[in-house]
Amino acid sequence: MAQVRFSSGERIPLEMHKVRIVQKLSLPPIEDRARHIAEAGNNTFLLRNADVFMDMLTDSGVNAMSDRQQAAMLTADDSYAGSATYTRLFDKLLDVFGMPYYLPTHQGRAAEHLLARTLVTEGSVVPMNYHFTTTKAHITLCGGRVEELYTDEGLQVTSEHPFKGNMDIGKLRALIDEVGAANIPFVRLETGTNLIGGQPHSLANLREIRAVCDEHGLLLVMDGSLLSDNLWFIKEREDSEKDKSIAQIARDIADLCDVFYFSARKITCARGGGILVRDEELYKQMRGLVPLYEGFLTYGGMSVREMEAMTIGLDELLDEDNICQGPQFIEHMVTELADRGVPVITPAGGLGCHVDARRFLDHVPQEQYPAGALAAAIYLCSGVRGMERGTMSEQREQDGTEPLAEMELVRLAMPRRVFTLSQVSYAVDRIAWLYTKRHLIGGLRWVEEPEVLRFFYGRLEPLDDWQERLVAEFRKDFGDSL
């Protein structure tokens, strides 16, 4: 991936790959989209992909594989135990990260499950820069609680701070003093904070966290699922690291961690995951859980074909022309929307473009799920499927209280090597049009509300006929256009 300056002076991302396999898309008429979102309970997770034009729900498992990855899948050794495929993957992980023990899992949240079951007990407190939904759920189910120690800049929607995902070291020290190091099973740093706009942390911040952990004898655990984008941001934004290779930055990060777990769906464009561990005793504590919950120790519930693709994906993780595509496409989309007045998270982070639903729909109370309503409205007017990252993604307290999210975002993920700039431009145009009609959008209420991870499969309905009015306005402005 490169950025070139056109004769007009404009800087536009230039793809450093060519497309050799294509998949046909469909763009249903808006009347059909209205029916589809109603049938899905106004939850974009429940839409059928056949009814979606651009699937920007997530980048997990939907990134495009390279020709080398596809070819490697044909060499897989499908032995149940002692597979040569496992050996190749382990050797590559050891080469990249330098951590001597690997527990394979079928994806990142499975790794969270094993870590929580092993380390978290009743009354545990887990400090982190910000939570992820499944991480928090696993810790809570084991009797622990999460303490978010983000910096003051972390929740500033509009900012120029390059590392809004940093952990506040003063808050970390204060928490240790308050609850005691004995009650903290580990400190967790999420690289590329998912729920606050894919914002990165700096390498300097990680070194500071390491020093505090060493001082108090604490484990430092990293969720490296979004490592790819964070590596790029460290090289681009952290002056002391600009002359280092991506491979060296990746090793520097791993060397500072006791445990590194990941979803391969994100960092290697293949479906899988795992836990890298530095300490043999901790490895042995978790080892027995893998065959119990995942699969044998040499596949962990993964397809060996996907494991071969992971191995090649780790090479591509260290390729600057590869890992810069996501951040540069996202920055382009963020800039284009911001230029049209649409409220977005800045600076552009990783994972995707994040629209600020609280400012977009400042007339919709948080109790009416503005991020969920905006995600439904975006699909309605464009066929683009995004993901709600706000109060819907929280979970009610045991007394039924609704905790209001600190941010109300609609995430428009940018799967790697999937979309063209013309498709991104289409999404920008429709969202910008929707912003001019934002007064038409109303709130949502639950029809079916699951107790755990409700945003995955709960159903909602509009509070009034705002969707019908939005369809009528679309037809007025666009005529017969899709």
Question: Which residue in 223, 229, 258, 356 is the catalytic one?
Answer: 223
Neighbours of 87 (CB within 10 A): 13
Task: Find out whether 124 and 140 touch, Cβ atoms under 8 Å.
Answer: no
Q: Which of 117, 133, 171, 296 is catalytic?
A: 133
Find the catalytic residue in 132, 262, 283, 369: 132
- At residue 292, the 3 state secondary structure works out as helix
Do 298 and 105 touch, CB atoms closer than 8 A?
no
210, 389, 411, 430: the active-site residue: 389
Q: DSSP secondary structure string, 422-452?
A: HHHHHHHHHHHHHHHTGGG---EEEEE--SS
Q: Assess contact for 422 and 10: CB atoms under 8 A.
A: no
**Residue environment code for 103-120, b if the CB has 16+ CB neighbours within 10 A, otherwise e:** bbbbbbbbbbbbbbbbbb
Contact 372, 444 (CB under 8 A): yes
Q: Which two tokens stand for residue 118?
A: 């092993």
Half-sphere exposure of 113 (CA within 13 A, CB side): 15
Indicate if 97 belongs to the active site.
Answer: no
Amino acid at the residue 317: L
- Please give the helix or strand (H or E) that residue 384 lies within, else none: strand 384-385
Instruction: Please confirm, yes or no, whether 299 is among the known catalytic residues.
Output: no
> Catalytic residue at 133?
yes
- 80 catalytic, yes or no? yes
Is residue 455 among the annotated active site residues? yes
- Residue in 53, 163, 186, 455 annotated catalytic: 455
Indicate which residue of 35, 68, 75, 80 is catalytic: 80
Q: How far is CA 85 from the centre of its chain?
A: 27
220: β partners: 187
- Find the catalytic residue in 235, 265, 266, 454: 266
Measure CA of the first residue to CA of the last residue in the chain; give whole Å: 31
Q: For this structure, is 356 an active site residue?
A: no
For the beta carbon of residue 239, count every other beta carbon within 10 angstroms.
Answer: 8
Q: Are 338 and 346 in contact (CB under 8 A)?
A: yes
In the annotation, is 266 catalytic? yes
Contact at 8 Å (CB) between 424 and 329? yes
List active site positions.
80, 132-133, 223, 266, 389, 455
